[in-house]
Structure 1
């Protein structure tokens, strides 16, 4: 097995750095923003979205500060290579040592190559769970892993709802649940791919179709501006909780912020915070424009998924093509989003790397997402549920708690 170490092989180009951050925060949640604006009102929605953006950015930077504080006061030593796990000893101020088990996403079962693992490696990848372990011990890691697991499954369920609802509109002869039974088996086979590198092409295609679809929805919004005459809501206390939860869902990036920061070359990593803040400002402006224009275009008729408002016809038209592209995009994104959940469960319960048990675990998780969709079949409500629970913990509560514990030490 060849071991390759490159301490400065990450992204250097500002365009690539900004693109990586931008793509990480643009997903299916954007499609529910017009409906959220309908529930809350224009001014209230803009205020909530901006506030959540500021707090989320601060919280994610706090996670990075926690990681830097750990590495600043403790020295990494004796990094040993094990299958699927990199064990790093961290020296505490008291002289004690604790082990951090960092998952190797790029481990090769073919024994060909293992990157960023060496006893001399000076550029270790530390995960959110590792920060939790240092601050709170096994309880911290267990809590963070559990919340990440639930949130990733929740995201995948939202994708399933979007796909089956849109496909049932294309082909009304089949119900939502019949479409669910049709799409779950191929999704299971996609989850059998055990390396992220094999899913990279799906991610690229998904992001291209996402950006294309969002652009077309914008175009339809502006074309439809004068079609509905109504006085838009400005404030609605009744819609505050819903919009707040959806906003948190849209900005939830705490689970991947350390990976994003680590993706930069060491030489430019000190500039990450500036790149990150600038990009999130752009993302926030996009969210506001997309959500507000969708609501202003369709008014009280705004659907919980904005693509339902696009004009339909019996033949093949542009709107149907966009909706179909989004379905394909989310279908291909599903195995990428479910990957961390599977990896967490495999690392904890299947250390022997048993292929049959691993396949059974994948079948169970995919089936579980289907059962959740049957129980909570509304896209907007599911987004709000995941946002109000898991995303709130990951993005708001845990960063503050970890920061207090780590800097107190």
Structure 2
């Protein structure tokens, strides 16, 4: 049989028909279209705001909210965990805090774009997360929102209570040292309550931002006085343990976690930020702020502990002489 005849037979019986070719082409087009549609679902519209806080104002708010009385108690955490163990834990927890807050903001922005709402607080983020989650979890979305809001309130009450006591006690010490005014701690708590209540009447983050700017200046001055004394003082670094026992490390973890106390203000600030993308990223508000906070915390705990050693008090201000 001639070769040409064999080729003709093979082409006759094995060449795909036009219908098959069209089906294959149609199938390819369908896959491409479905992929494109899937991409369209993922590429949600970005969040745009005509008005809002600037990057710098948000960063100032974040720093003021994150650096609080817990910073001054970190030398005790170093004492509980050991010098270099405590130093490492500060940066580890700083990284974990930053990572969790970044994930929270990413989820909030994704759910905001999906819902078409540019503002979601903590409770509504939990609500929308359940709404878009597993079917068995969706009926509990209202309960989850209540739990999250209750937890945020409890967190804020705890942090503000410690801060309130800190301000009242130290205000009394300052007044008794520089003046002849004598009063009980309860009276000072009442006096301090007046400006704190008035500050709560500021309803905008921009107004709070100006207060935070003033607070940051005072905080920098205070930390400057503290650090200049701690750095110039005699150190007992060689006598201190590098790491303590397991119970001490666990106790120190609680103290260090408490010192990072600004998590509850992340979403409110993100909701007021003019460009929400400035909240995330390597040089965003969260990453920049947490880097600065971690450095300040590590320095405060390190120098406080190597200066006073095992005699360090619950707050480094209790060890400092009145002349500082």
For normalisation by structure 1, the TM-score amounts to 0.56
Q: Report what 1:130 is aligned to.
A: 124
The aligned counterpart of 1:165 is: 169
Aligned mates of 2:279, 2:213 — CA distance in 1: 25
Map of 1:147 onto structure 2: 151
Distance in 2, Cα, partners of 1:147 & 1:193: 23
Quick one: structure 1 residues 301 and 30, their matched pair in 2 at CA, closer, same or farther if it must change by over 3 Å?
Answer: same
Give 1:263 deviation, angstroms. 4.1
Kindly state the Cα deviation for residue 304 of structure 1 after the two structures are TM-superposed. 1.0
More helix as a share of residues: 2
Q: Indicate conservation of the 8 Å contact 1:230/1:299, yes or no.
A: no
Separation in 2, partners of 1:254, 1:183: 25
Greater strand percent: which structure?
1
Cα distance in 2 for partners of 1:281, 1:30 equals: 14
Task: Tell me what 1:308 maps to.
Answer: 318
1:290 and 2:284 matched: no
Of structures 1 and 2, the one scoring higher in RCO (CA 8 A, sep 6+) is: 2
- For normalisation by structure 2, the TM-score amounts to 0.69
Deviation at 1:225, TM superposition (A): 2.8
Distance 2:249 2:226 in 1: 25
1:37 corresponds to: 78
The equivalent residue for 1:257 is 266
- What residue in structure 2 maps to residue 235 of structure 1? 243
Q: Deviations over 1:302-349 (max 9, x none)?
A: 11111112212xxxx5x2xxxxxxxxxxxxxxxxxxxxxxxxxxxxxx
Greater mean alpha carbon deviation, residues 21-30 or residues 36-45: 21-30
Instruction: Tell me which structure has the larger Cα radius of gyration.
Output: 2
Structure 1 residue aligned with 2:219: 210
Structure 1 residue runs of 5 or longer lacking an equivalent are 1-5, 77-87, 89-123, 320-409
- 1:165-197 deviation digits (Å, cap 9, x = unpaired): 32443428544334334434x257526726346
For 1:288 and 1:71, how far apart are their aligned partners in 2?
36
Q: Is the 8 A contact 1:132 1:144 kept in 2?
A: yes
Superposition pairs of residues 2-151 of structure 1, within 5 angstroms: 7-10=49-52, 18-72=59-113, 74-76=114-116, 124-136=118-130, 137-151=141-155
C-alpha distance in 2 between matches for 1:254 and 1:174:
35
SS of residue in 2 equivalent to 1:256: helix
Which secondary structure state, in structure 1, belongs to the residue aligned with residue 258 of structure 2? helix
The structure-2 alpha-carbon separation of the partners of 1:192 and 1:235, relative to structure 1 and needing over 3 Å to count, comes to closer
Contact 1:56 1:252 in 2 (8 A): no
Measured on the aligned residues, the alpha-carbon RMSD in Å equals: 2.9
Please tell me whether the aligned partners of residues 224 and 298 of structure 1 are also in contact (alpha carbons under 8 angstroms).
no
